Structures are given as structure tokens and as C-alpha cells.
Structure 1
Amino acid sequence: MTTVAHRLKARLTDGVDPALQRLIPEGICRTFRVVPYAEVDGTVLVAAADADDTITEHVVAERIDRPVLLVRHTVNEITAAIDDVYPPQETEVETPEARRARMQMAQMLTRSGLVTDEQLQRAMLEYARTGDPLGDILVAHEAIPEDVLVAALSEIHQLQRVGLAEFEPDLEVARRLPEQLARTLQVCPVAATEDLVLLAVPRPLDAEASQAVEEALGSPFRQLLANRTELDQLLQRVHSAQYAEISTHALMELRPDESAHVVISGGQKATLVCALLVTALCGVLWPMTTLIVLVGICSLLYLVVSVYKFRLTLRALGTHLETDVTDDEIAALDERHLPIYTILVPLYKEAGILPRLVRDLNALDYPRTRLDVKLLCEEDDDETIDMIRAMQLPPHFHLVVVPDSQPKTKPKACNYGLQLSVGHYSVIFDAEDRPDPDQLKKAVIAFDRVAPNVVCVQAKLNHFNQEQNMLTAWFANEYSMHFELVLPAMGASGSPIPLGGTSNHFITSKLRELGAWDPFNVTEDADLGIRLHREGYRTAMIDSTTLEEANSNVPNWIRQRSRWIKGYLQTWLVHMRNPIGLLSQTGVRGFVSFNLTMGSAFLLLINPIFWALTTLYIFTRAGFIEQLFPGIIFYAASAMLFVGNFVFVYLNVAGSLQRGEFGLTRTALLSPLYWGLMSWAAWKGFIQLFTNPFYWEKTTHGLDESP
């Protein structure tokens, strides 16, 4: 009795104990109407509007590591105490009407047995963090299907429902609303009379949105609630022609000089023909001298490229050049302010890997209600499309079917998906990607911290199956060198960064402004990195990794690498159409860096020639080979034989050491053999540049069985 009486002397009206003020986060306090205010005899007294509610009791007990006693108080008393501890901001405090609707939704679903107490508790906790609608949270976590939520909203708001699964739109009616407004609000006109338009909506529109729609339509309208997935598919059918046109031709029409739809420009053809004629003429008049000069030029190029990459590595080794984001900064993020994030996932013949992909995307530490995941499928890929439909994914996953047309490339699919994107930020992930769970939050923080002209944040790439065989180990060594050393050093020096094929995060509006990806360039990521640099924008690296599947068999690896090298050659040709313009936009350092990264792909074509000459000389001691390497040329070439191979091995070892993958360093000692594979792929890509420049060599994923 004495203890109870002593506890009762501690009153909420006396104020909240400063030591307990922030024991429970604001969102939970306001959502569950609780506030800890005193501690008596080791027990924390928590004011609660509903002291008998088991969910409230469980949520409070989970967050306080001491005995807890819920003490009933009025809502007004608790709200006043919370406002003292957390001064309210009008836009972030739930209105009485919104709270009533939320509680009505919760009661309707629990009383009908559609959700369990555990599911409701998880959803309420996420609501406390994000402020997103409770029903949307339940749907995103697959506690209830979208149709159940639409039925509940229909009853709460007294709005009629409409089914769109088999609906064939009248395109003239459906396009009365501008595409941008329809996409932003996810609404679509489905029928119209002279005086009224029937508008399918995923959720009841607020006053501001309703006014915008009425002004755009020029007519009153009535809202009909629709399933979000069905509505999304309807909007795609209505506007597919526009999306297809933009995704294929936008860059080519707006910035033709920056598009790879022409492989070699007229000026480049003339320069190449002149160079060949001069070389041929010199070869006729001074054959040996001409060959010696060519050997000297190639040796010099090898030297310059090796020194450049070696210098970049030395700058980055043992340092931290990325934009770093700490765990404390991530924990301190207010999820109520997180933007919508679009995730573009290009898929082709990837049905078998879909379950793993969905699992890994759902593992991202980001509110699912703020994800806009576009699963980009080609129209002729029935197996993948059918699998996605059969999985009945929640509405933050959007099936996007790209019309079958040429060129059939990843960048064209991404351009198509970008037209449908509603996120403030956008990122690309490939089908086999396993990004760090906190990567999206790190990118959000990084964008807030970096310079205003940074429009892209590139995460690191590496492989989850690096120990599968020698090829995957070499691949992992190469990625470690590229993403741990070379790219961070390039970013720190202000050089143009050729982006990786995945995990590059963009400000969506700036990406559209740049013309997005070139659908005719088969290494569209590297090209985009150069284009954004030329426009005065920059890329920042962040210390977050996405694990990919390294190709584990040689034919598959050759297909992928030949495409990359063909794309590097395309990118070099595109941006060297006007060397003076490139120099003026990137500066001398950027110009040199571009040529030593993109242009170095040509060196891979030369390797087999030198290897063949060396082998031939060893076995035949042919005199004409000795004549090709007189005096200084011989010593320079011999030095490059050792220096070049040393640098190549060193870079691969250094990259793995930087990442802490010490077990891979021994495989780097055999990496000159890997260089041979790269030259094989280079010649295949070079030939395709003229025979089939826009052909996208499909890389098969799922060869590794890692879970």
C-alpha cells in the first residue's frame, strides 16, 4: 500500500522527469498516446490513454529496459505532455480526422479477423516512424491484399469501387488528363459524360489534388476507388506509345551529337581514312621505319596508361575518399522525411531469379510505402512476365512491360521505366544484385551532404561468389581495384567517372534533364557518367557495396565483357566527335583522364599482336622482329613488358587488400592470364562494333546457387 500510495504522488501534471523525456520516440508517443513521466521505486510510470491495451503495453515494455506501469490519463493531458517534450510541427502532427480514420481502419480489419494483433502492432510501429497510411503499410508487408484495403476505404469514405483488370480504356477519355499529372497522382479517367468525368483513383484525393485534376480536365469529376496494381497497368496501356517514343528517340533528337545511334561520325570517318592513307603511304615508302614508329607509339601508350592507373591507385590506397555515412547518422534519420525512391530493375529471361530478387529488395532498410520498384520486362519475355503476375506482389512492385522494338537494350528499358517513375531519387539494380540494406538511406544522407552539383551517387560493386572458381576470383579482384581505388581517386581528382552498371543513384529530375541513358550505347552507364560531367555535374562515391554474381564460365564472361568493351569504344567515339568541345567542358585533366580510361580499351586490341611477336621471336629468332625494336624502342618495350604486367598485378592485389579480401590476393598473381581473356573479348566487341553495334549480348544470371 505504501508503494502504491508513493507512486500515486507522482503526477503527470507535475511535469515529465527530464531523465525520461526521450525514452520513447516521438512517433510512438503520439501514435499510442503514451508518455513516460516519472520513476518510482525502479518502476517507470507511463501515462497512457488506454492503459488496458495489450498492444500499447507490449510496445512500451519493448522500449524501456525497466519495469513499467501504465497509468491512465486523459488524452488532453498526454498530448500536452508530449507537446512539452516534442514541440509539435503542424505538418507532422496527425489531425483528429486522420486519427479517427486510422483507428476505424484498424478496428475494421481486426474485428473481421483480417489482421492479427502482431501484424497490427508492426504496422502501427512503422506508422509511428513514417506517418504513412496504416492500410498501405499493411498491404506493403503483405498482411492484407490490396483489394481488401480498397474495400475498407470504400466503406470508410463512402466511395464506389471500380475493377480495372479487364477494362479496355477509351484512349480519348483516358488521355484527357495530362500524363505527368496522371503519373504523379496515379489516377486515370475511365468514363465521361458532357458534365462529369469518372476518375479511377488509388486513394481519395485531397483538396489540392482534386483542384488540380478539375482544372486539367476542365470538368467536374467523381472518384472511383481502384486497385493500385490494376490502375498502374491501365496507365501503362494508355501512355505506352509516348513512353516508347521517348525511351528510344529522346536523346537522339534532343542531343544527336551525344547519341551512339551513329557509330562513327562523318568527321571521324574522314580522319580515319586520312590516317590510314598516310600510314599506308609511309609503309610503302619507309616500311620498317613506319612499323618502328607504330611500335613506339603503342609502347608509349602502354606506359602512359599504366602510370596513370598506378598513380590513381597510390592516391587511394590506405585512404578513404568516399562520402562516408555512419551508423549513428542512419539511426538519426527521421523516416517521416524520407523521399519516395524509385528502383529500376531491368529483367530479361530472369524468371528463375525473381524470388531471390524480391527477397533482397524487401530486405532494404527503407519504408516499403516509399519504394517505387519498377520491374522492367521485355514484351516477348512471357516467362518472366507470367512469373511476376503469379507472385501477386504488393503495389510498390510495378510490372513494366517494354514494347518490343529495336534497339532491345537495357538502357532503353531503363528509359521506359524512368517515364513512369515517381521517386525523387532513382537507382538501378540488376536482377542478381544484393545491395547493402542501408544503401538507400546512405544515398539520401550523401545527397544532403555533397556539393550542389553532385547529381549521382555511385555505390561500390563486388561479388558474392568470388571464391567459386579462378574466373570469379579474378573478376572480384578487378572490381575491388576499380571500385575501391580507381573510381574514388577519379572522383577525388574531379575527373569524369564512368559509372558502374548498377547501384548508381540519381536525382530523378536531373537524370531526365540529361536525357537519361543512350539506348544505342551498350555501356550506357559509363556514357552517362561522362555526359553528366560535361554538363557541369559531378558523381560522388559512397561507402556502400552491392554484391553481384560474377560470371563463373568463360563463354558467359566473354559475352558480358565484349559488350562492355564495345560500349567503351562507342563512348569514346561519341565524345571524341568534337575533341575541342570535350576539352573545353572537362578541362585538360578531365580530357586526359577520359582518353586514358575509355580509350585504353584499344590497348586490349594490341595485346595479342605483341604477344604473337614475342612468341614468334622466342621460337624463330626472326631478324625482322629485332629490327622492330631498335635501341630505345627495345628498352622501352622491354620495360613495359615488366612494368605493365607489374602494374596490372599490383592493381589487382591492391584492390583486394583495400577491401580486406586477403584470400583473393594470391589469385591476382595469375591475373595476366585474365588479361588474355580481356583481349579475346575486346576483339569480339571491336568486330561487333561494325557488324552489329547495338546488339545486347545477354548475360545469364543464376549460375551460382548461393542463397
Structure 2
Amino acid sequence: MSDLRLRLPEPKAAEYLEAPPPFGRLLVNAGIIKQDDLVHALNLQQHVDAPLGEILAAEGLARRSDILAALSRQHQMQLADLAADPPDPRIKAYLPTALCLKYQVVPWMMMGDVLLVATNTPGAFADFQACLGVGGRKVLPVLAQAADIRHAISTLYGDELAERAATRVPAAHSCRTWTATSPLRRVWASLIAGAAIGLTIAAPRMVLTGLLLLALLTLVMTTTLKVLAFGAQMHARFFDRTPPAPEAAAPFRLPRVSVLVPLLNEEEIAGKLIERLSRLTYPKSLLDVVLVLEAQDTVTRKTIARTQMPPWMSVIEVPQASDLTTKPRALNYALDFCRGSVIGVWDAEDCPEPDQIERIVTRFNAAPDNVACLQGRLDYYNPRANWLARCFAIEYATWWRMMLPGVARLGLVVPLGGTTLFFRRPILEKLCGWDAHNVTEDADLGLRLAREGYVTELVETTTFEEANARAWPWIKQRSRWLKGYLITWVVHMRAPGKLMKELGFWRFMGVQALFLATFVQFALAPLLWSFWITLLGVTHPVTSVLGSDLMWHIAVVFLVAEVINLTVSLAAVSGRAHRHLLPFVFTMPFYFTMAAVSSYKALKEMVAQPFYWDKTQHGISLGDEPARAAAPDADAAHHADLQPIRLPLAQLWDSTRCLVAGGGRWSGFIPPDQDAVLPTVVPALPEDLVVPPQEPRA
């Protein structure tokens, strides 16, 4: 242990008496690992872009403290325990925040005129020194654990980073310019409401007729979009029979992937979350899962403290900043601490397919540079909980298996979902991350990506979520979604001419249908439902204004739209995994009555609480998680009867990559401390996939 109180008048870097041995040999000579462990890790390093120490720690072959001690001996650097002796808060003035984040270093203490800087990557310290310039401050490196460095950065610079997280997106593309409790907005809302009430009293039939025509217009818009998207998806399903050419199988070193998992008041979900993510087959040395907590969230902190976390998972606490507590603010804050070149987002209750990361990095490797985001498909693992969960699962299947793929095939703007998103980090940072004040930050980011000319693709991989199976929580969740869609529309329609120029006419009209018409449809749905009274022989109140012939035509449009809705939903749940939902499709009109209530709650909050995040409570249906969520491959049962073969982890990844590149699937997972068992159907490794050996990195 270092003597933290020792002060030297002129500290200098230690000089090598002789050339240090390679890092792996140093670990073997010290008895920290065995020779076979070193060979295994070096073989794996040929295929993954990770230091040798990271691989050994992720594989459970060495403790991080032993690895750090070996690095200290190799580089002749002093160890620093930042947890026992944290930096003085006043020392943050010696280094800028951006430099600390870029090189993951933190100022520790002063010795004379020399600043001791804690790092976990000795090889990158020379680049950090170069940024200080020739006449810059004298610095010397000390070694510390990466988690302690991140915690120290957050402690020293947290207030500045929290403020930056809240204002990261330029004001022109953000809703933060709205005052959360603006008296002026309430005055305008009151005036509009008063005028509407006055007009309704003065000319009720004319007002009702105008609203009905508006509802009809938005119904035509949303139905047309649904027909086009459904047609595009069905055409691809039945007529594009030519299998896609295998993606380029040229060798590439696997990138590090950081996945952000924002948590808030999660008392039940943390242990289950770790269990689910442990099934991922991506090399753990390249997996950087970051649990993002609010600093004042004692509930989740206590839950995580009771949970044994794997070495590839870390925790970032977001300092409080004003009264804003939103998911996008937490994501912005944690983004600066991520180590991956690919940034993903999962929700607390998510259960991704085991090979999801492999599919993402393989597609990113083959995709054009303008493909900025890959969106996975979402499904529910508790659709049998009750009637509400079944209807929610039908709605999700319709959206994720029919509508959204069709929208993407039509080349329209893809409104992103809140989870199973993966971004190229440079592009995400170029767009300044998420709007911290928008409660549907995902849809807003999808629109901003499209405006900048980037493409979002859908990937054939599924994440299973927990369906909201209680009425009032469902209404609260849906009101947040509708409020966010309306806010996003208002923000981007500040300059409609510019928006149309950037997107083009048809994509511009798609935005109107997806964002504005969706909200209006739910809000005015009761007017459309009123047509059902005509089937009982009751004359509709607006018949005297529009005439009976036009009213019958409108009624036919309404009925045709309902038939289209049911047809698309029936097609969406016709697959083997969802066939049990088919009878419940015909109850969907009753299900959507709750969405009308949600729209009124959303409208009220948009005026009074535009930034309020009505959080959904997770962990209600944990016991309903089916086995298919853990192993979703339909052929898994068939493979179970085959004689397994055992592969080393490095060779296993090559075989897995062949399957992914060729469109195959494998639903097993690699325990972090074991070799993996694969069925005998794994193909032989092609020679062109062999990656030339490279020099090991410490």
C-alpha cells in the first residue's frame, strides 16, 4: 500500500534498470495466472480490441488488484488508492474536465510543483501529456483502479457535468427553452380553452363538425401510413424470397460496446437484470454495461449494494441538478464515462437475446458510414399476465413487426424506441446526445438523426420487456409517450419550411402522421367512436350539417379503418410465438379507450408539467418471464438432442461470428469462467476469417 502522506520536493519518474518483461510473463512469474491462462487470453486478444488485463479480469482468471499491481511493477509507477485517499476538491482546477474524460485520468495531489495524475492506462499517458503542451504543468502518473478514477472525476467535476448533461442539445433543437411552470403558457392555454368552450356553447354542431372532420383527416393520414407500411413489410416477407447475401466476413477486431441502463427506484429489478445480461455471449472483456443511478436514489443504491456485480458492469451516479430528473439527462451524463465505440441503451427490465451484441457489431461493421443507429425489436415476456398485457403485446407486435419495419422500408423517419438502441459513438456525440428535457428523447433523437442525413436500420434481434399489466400505470406511461410525441412535433415544427427542406415532402408528411396525427387520433377518438350509434338507428348529431349521404361515407371510412387495424394486428400475431393472442385482437377497440384518457392527461401535463417524467414501475411480473426470453431460438429444442462439442472461447467467437454473418442463429451463452458448449451443427471456421496475430497489449 502506498504511503499517501509522503511528500518529495522533486518527484521524478522511476527509471528502468533493465527492460521489463512482457505483461503476461510478469503475471505468470508472479503466480497470478497459469501459462494455459495466458495462452487462452492471448488467443482471445487476437480477435477482440481489449488489453490483456481486461481480458483476464473479465474471464475471471485474475483479480483487478493483482493486474494493477503487475502494471505498477512493469511500468515502475506508484499505486494510488483513491477510495482511501481521494483528491482534494480544490485540485480540480489543475486539469480541464474534457481532458480528464477523454483520457480517463484525474488529478490526485501536488508534490512541489509536480501534479500527480491517476491513470489506469499507462500506455496512453504520453498522449495525455502531449495535450498539455511543452510549457504545460509538470505531471507524473500514478496507477489507480478505473472505477475509482471514474468516481473521482464524478466527484470533482460532477456539478459541471450534470449541468452539461441537462443542456447538451442546442437550444434550437430542444424543448428546454420552455419554462417548466410558465404562467404565459397557462394563460394561453386558458384563453384557448375558454374560446373553445365559448364556441361550443354558441355553435355546438359546427364545433362538433369541425372536430369530427379533423379526426377524419388524421384517421385517413394514420390509416394510409399503416396500409403503406403493412404493404411494404408484407411484400418483403412474401416476394423478396432471395436470401440476402452473407455480410462481408472479412476479419475485424471486435469493438468495445458500452450499454447504458438507467435505473430509478428499482427495488426488485437489479438482481434479475444482472442475471439476464450475464447470458450475453459477447466477450465480456469488450462489454461495458453501465448502470446509471440518480444520486438521490437510495432505493436502487441499496439494492445494488446487496448484489454481486460482475467485473464488466459498473455504476455511475448522476448528481442532482435543479429539479430535472429524467432518463435522457442520466444518459447524457453517463455517456462521458463510457469506454465503447458503440453505445447502446437498455431498460431496467430488459432481457435481450444472448447474441444481440454480436449481431449489432457485425451489422455496424458491414453497414455504410451513414448508418448511425441500429434499432432492435421489442417484445414482452409476460403477455399472459392478464387481458391488458395481452392487448399490449398485440400492440407491440403490430408496431415492431409490421409498422416500424414497413416505415423503415418506405424510407420514412424512424421514431426510435426507448431501448435496444445502438449508436456509432462519434455520430451520437456529434448530435449532442439526448434532449434532457424531452420525455420521449428516443423519438426526438430519431428525428434529429434523419434531419442530419443519417440512417436508422432495424436489426433482427429481440429484447423482451415487461408489459405494463395495470390500468392506471398503463395510462401514466402512455400519457408520457403521447406528451413526448407532441412536444417533439412542436420543437421540430418551429421552422416547418426548414424541416421539409431537410427531410423532403413525403418524409415531412410521415412526421405529421407519426407525431401529430397519432396524438390527435387518440384525443378525438370518442368522436369517431360515436359513429357506432348509427348502427343502432340513432341519427348522428352532425348529420344536419354534413348531410346523411356524407355521414354514411364517413362511417364507411371509419369501419374500413377498423378492419385495416384488425387485419394488420392479426398478421402481426400470426406467428408461432404469438398465436395465443389471436382471439384477443378483436378486443383491441376496447383497449384503446384508455389511450384517449392518456391523451387528455398528456395535454394537461404539456401545459402544467412539460418535463415531468411519470416513471413506470418495473418488477411487477418478474415471475412470468418465459424460457423463450432466455433462449429465444426456435431450434433450441432440436439442438438439445445433439452431441455437444467443447471449444475454447477464442475459437467459439470465430464460429459465432460465422453464424451471425451467414444469417444463422445460436442461442447459447458463455459462462464467464468456462469454455462453451456448442451443438455439432457449428460450421467449420473458414480460413479467410483467421485474424493475423498481433502484439499483446497490457
TM class by shorter chain equals 0.7 to 0.9
1:696 aligns with 2:618: no
What secondary structure is seen at the aligned counterpart in 1 of 2:268? helix
Q: Aligned in 2, Cα 1:534/1:329: closer, same or farther, shift over 3 Å?
A: closer
1:357 aligns with 2:273: yes
Where do 1:172-571 residues align within 5 Å?
A: 172-206=90-124, 208-209=126-127, 211-212=129-130, 215=133, 218-251=136-169, 254-259=170-175, 261-262=177-178, 288-317=205-234, 319=236, 332=249, 334=251, 337-391=253-307, 393-405=309-321, 406-571=323-488
Q: Which one of 17, 23, 26 corresponds to residue 101 of structure 1?
A: 23
**Alpha-carbon distance between aligned partners in 1 of 2:95 and 2:259, rounded to the nearest angstrom:** 26
What secondary structure is seen at the aligned counterpart in 2 of 1:420? coil
**Alpha-carbon distance between aligned partners in 2 of 1:695 and 1:283, rounded to the nearest angstrom:** 31
What secondary structure is seen at the aligned counterpart in 1 of 2:94? coil
Alpha-carbon distance, 1:371 to partner: 2.6
| Deviation digits for residues 96-119 of structure 1 (CA, Å, limit 9, x no counterpart) | x89832122134235xxxx57886
Q: Percent identical across equivalent pairs?
A: 29
What secondary structure is seen at the aligned counterpart in 1 of 2:592? helix
Alpha-carbon distance, 1:334 to partner: 4.3
RMSD, aligned CA: 3.5
Q: Which one of 602, 606, 628 corresponds to residue 685 of structure 1?
A: 602
| Deviation digits for residues 127-172 of structure 1 (CA, Å, limit 9, x no counterpart) | 3533643332232234443223222333344332111113342344
**Alpha-carbon distance between aligned partners in 2 of 1:315 and 1:243, rounded to the nearest angstrom:** 44
Structure showing greater radius of gyration is 1
**Alpha-carbon distance between aligned partners in 2 of 1:610 and 1:420, rounded to the nearest angstrom:** 50
**Alpha-carbon distance between aligned partners in 2 of 1:170 and 1:342, rounded to the nearest angstrom:** 30
What secondary structure is seen at the aligned counterpart in 1 of 2:258? strand
**Alpha-carbon distance between aligned partners in 2 of 1:379 and 1:559, rounded to the nearest angstrom:** 24
Q: Aligned in 2, Cα 1:268/1:586: closer, same or farther, shift over 3 Å?
A: farther
Q: Aligned in 2, Cα 1:245/1:210: closer, same or farther, shift over 3 Å?
A: closer
**Alpha-carbon distance between aligned partners in 2 of 1:247 and 1:657, rounded to the nearest angstrom:** 43
**Alpha-carbon distance between aligned partners in 2 of 1:267 and 1:496, rounded to the nearest angstrom:** 33
> Hey, what does 2:560 align to over in structure 1?
643
Q: Aligned in 2, Cα 1:216/1:149: closer, same or farther, shift over 3 Å?
A: farther
**Alpha-carbon distance between aligned partners in 2 of 1:643 and 1:268, rounded to the nearest angstrom:** 39
Q: Aligned in 2, Cα 1:98/1:450: closer, same or farther, shift over 3 Å?
A: farther
Q: Which has the higher contact order (CA 8 A, sep 6+)?
A: 2
Give 1 or 2: higher helix fraction. Answer: 1
**Alpha-carbon distance between aligned partners in 2 of 1:325 and 1:378, rounded to the nearest angstrom:** 46
Alpha-carbon distance, 1:629 to partner: 5.5
| Deviation digits for residues 487-532 of structure 1 (CA, Å, limit 9, x no counterpart) | 2222222211110011111122221221221121111111111122
Alpha-carbon distance, 1:549 to partner: 1.3
Alpha-carbon distance, 1:452 to partner: 3.0
The amino acid across from 2:273 in the alignment is L
> Hey, what does 2:519 align to over in structure 1?
601
Alpha-carbon distance, 1:409 to partner: 0.8
What secondary structure is seen at the aligned counterpart in 1 of 2:288? strand
Stretch deviating more after TM superposition (275-284 or 307-316): 275-284
| Deviation digits for residues 192-236 of structure 1 (CA, Å, limit 9, x no counterpart) | 234422121213235743642653882333322212211221111
Stretch deviating more after TM superposition (589-598 or 357-366): 357-366
- Listed as ranges, the gaps of 5+ residues in structure 1 are 1-96
Contact 1:229–1:395 (8 Å) recurs in 2? no
**Alpha-carbon distance between aligned partners in 2 of 1:269 and 1:368, rounded to the nearest angstrom:** 51
Contact 2:451–2:502 (8 Å) recurs in 1? yes
The amino acid across from 2:215 in the alignment is C
Q: Aligned in 2, Cα 1:194/1:625: closer, same or farther, shift over 3 Å?
A: same
Where do 1:12-31 residues align within 5 Å?
A: none
The amino acid across from 1:685 in the alignment is A
Q: Aligned in 2, Cα 1:118/1:650: closer, same or farther, shift over 3 Å?
A: farther
**Alpha-carbon distance between aligned partners in 2 of 1:217 and 1:397, rounded to the nearest angstrom:** 39
Contact 1:299–1:636 (8 Å) recurs in 2? no
Contact 1:244–1:402 (8 Å) recurs in 2? yes
What secondary structure is seen at the aligned counterpart in 1 of 2:117? strand
**Alpha-carbon distance between aligned partners in 1 of 2:219 and 2:401, rounded to the nearest angstrom:** 23
Q: Aligned in 2, Cα 1:706/1:285: closer, same or farther, shift over 3 Å?
A: closer
Contact 2:26–2:70 (8 Å) recurs in 1? no
Q: Which one of 75, 87, 106 corresponds to residue 169 of structure 1?
A: 87
What secondary structure is seen at the aligned counterpart in 1 of 2:133? helix
Stretch deviating more after TM superposition (178-187 or 260-269): 260-269
What is the number of residues matched between the two proteins? Answer: 602
Q: Aligned in 2, Cα 1:339/1:409: closer, same or farther, shift over 3 Å?
A: same
**Alpha-carbon distance between aligned partners in 2 of 1:98 and 1:313, rounded to the nearest angstrom:** 64
**Alpha-carbon distance between aligned partners in 2 of 1:220 and 1:404, rounded to the nearest angstrom:** 34
**Alpha-carbon distance between aligned partners in 2 of 1:215 and 1:392, rounded to the nearest angstrom:** 43
**Alpha-carbon distance between aligned partners in 1 of 2:508 and 2:58, rounded to the nearest angstrom:** 47
Q: Aligned in 2, Cα 1:212/1:435: closer, same or farther, shift over 3 Å?
A: farther
- Listed as ranges, the gaps of 5+ residues in structure 2 are 1-18, 626-698
Contact 1:139–1:394 (8 Å) recurs in 2? no
**Alpha-carbon distance between aligned partners in 2 of 1:333 and 1:684, rounded to the nearest angstrom:** 53
Contact 2:413–2:511 (8 Å) recurs in 1? yes
The amino acid across from 1:103 in the alignment is R
Contact 1:522–1:566 (8 Å) recurs in 2? yes
TM norm structure 2:
0.78
> Hey, what does 1:27 align to over in structure 2?
none
What secondary structure is seen at the aligned counterpart in 2 of 1:197? strand
The amino acid across from 2:363 in the alignment is A
Alpha-carbon distance, 1:443 to partner: 2.2
The amino acid across from 2:91 in the alignment is V
The amino acid across from 2:26 in the alignment is Q
Contact 2:47–2:254 (8 Å) recurs in 1? no
